[in-house]
Amino acid sequence: AQSVAQPEDQVNVAEGNPLTVKCTYSVSGNPYLFWYVQYPNRGLQFLLKYITGDNLVKGSYGFEAEFNKSQTSFHLKKPSALVSDSALYFCAVREAGTALIFGKGTTLSVSS
């Protein structure tokens, strides 16, 4: 069965510093990997996805994620954090023919 783990409940960074939000997954076949973001009192928004191709995927708002097959990871990164990046981030995974399964979420707090 597919599963996804976000090992950190909260990540704190200072504005201007790089940020990483971690995600690991487990699937039996090739993974389809996603990151979504939920800003306070708003719905979930799609950030980026990896289906196939380059291991480094670029998405919205300057975010990127690196697919690492050997470590079964798909960490979300941004070179320079903004206070407005503060939100709840969800990693998600699916196998072909199944529905998307989400992690428990990581709260990102960026301080000024």
Using CB under 8 A as the criterion, which residues of the chain lie in contact with another protein when the complex forms?
A: 6, 9, 32, 34, 36, 42-46, 49, 51, 90, 92, 94, 96, 99-105
Nearer to another protein, 28 or 42 (CB): 42
To another protein, the closest distance from the beta carbon of 68 in angstroms equals 20
To another protein, the closest distance from the beta carbon of 32 in angstroms equals 6
Distance CA 12, CA 35 (A): 18
Contacts 24+ apart (CB under 8 A), 69-72: 71/24, 72/24, 72/25, 72/26
